[in-house]
Amino acid sequence: MTIRSNKKTKNEVSLQDPIGVDKEGNEISLLDILGTETDKVLDEVELKIQIKKLYQKMASVLKNRERIVLQLRYGLVNDGSKTQREIAKLLGISRSYVSRIEKRAIKKLSKAFNHNTKKIKDKSDK
């Protein structure tokens, strides 16, 4: 049994496994050669966290119509972004009303995020 299980892992390679040495005698791993920048990975993770926070705020702060307008306007759903005129036609309202809804929704989100930032700052000051 152990021979079979070892045979399966025999062909596996870890990104941290040393594969050679450089001119200065330092070990080189596959991860070093692939060249993934840690900043790029961290930025991607941070972006996903921020997107999740945005969706949570949108769900808790905005009314249904405001959420729909922002999702359509900025392509937060699968179709991509739409113009105010296209959204107005979809919802059966005027383009100027779509504009007002959009502005109000952005203002609410901005206020909610700034309020949270202020709370976090106040806690760290104590």
- The structural domains of the chain, with segments of one domain joined by +, span 2-34, 38-125
Q: Distances in Å between the alpha carbon of 56 and those of 25, 51, 74, 97?
A: 50, 9, 16, 25
Q: What per-residue confidence (pLDDT) applies to 81?
A: 93
Per-residue model confidence as pLDDT tens digits over 71-123: 999 998 877 899 999 999 999 999 999 999 999 999 999 999 888 666 665 55
Quick check: 4 pLDDT over 80? no
pTM of the predicted structure, to 2 decimals: 0.61
Q: In this predicted model, what pLDDT tens digit does every residue of 64-73 receive, in sequence order?
A: 999 999 999 9
Distance CA 36, CA 32 (A): 8
Strand partners, 18: 29
Q: What is the pLDDT of residues 12-45, one digit of tens each?
A: 767 677 888 888 888 887 767 766 666 677 788 8
In this prediction, residue 41 carries a pLDDT of 75
The CATH number of 38-125 is 1.10.10.10
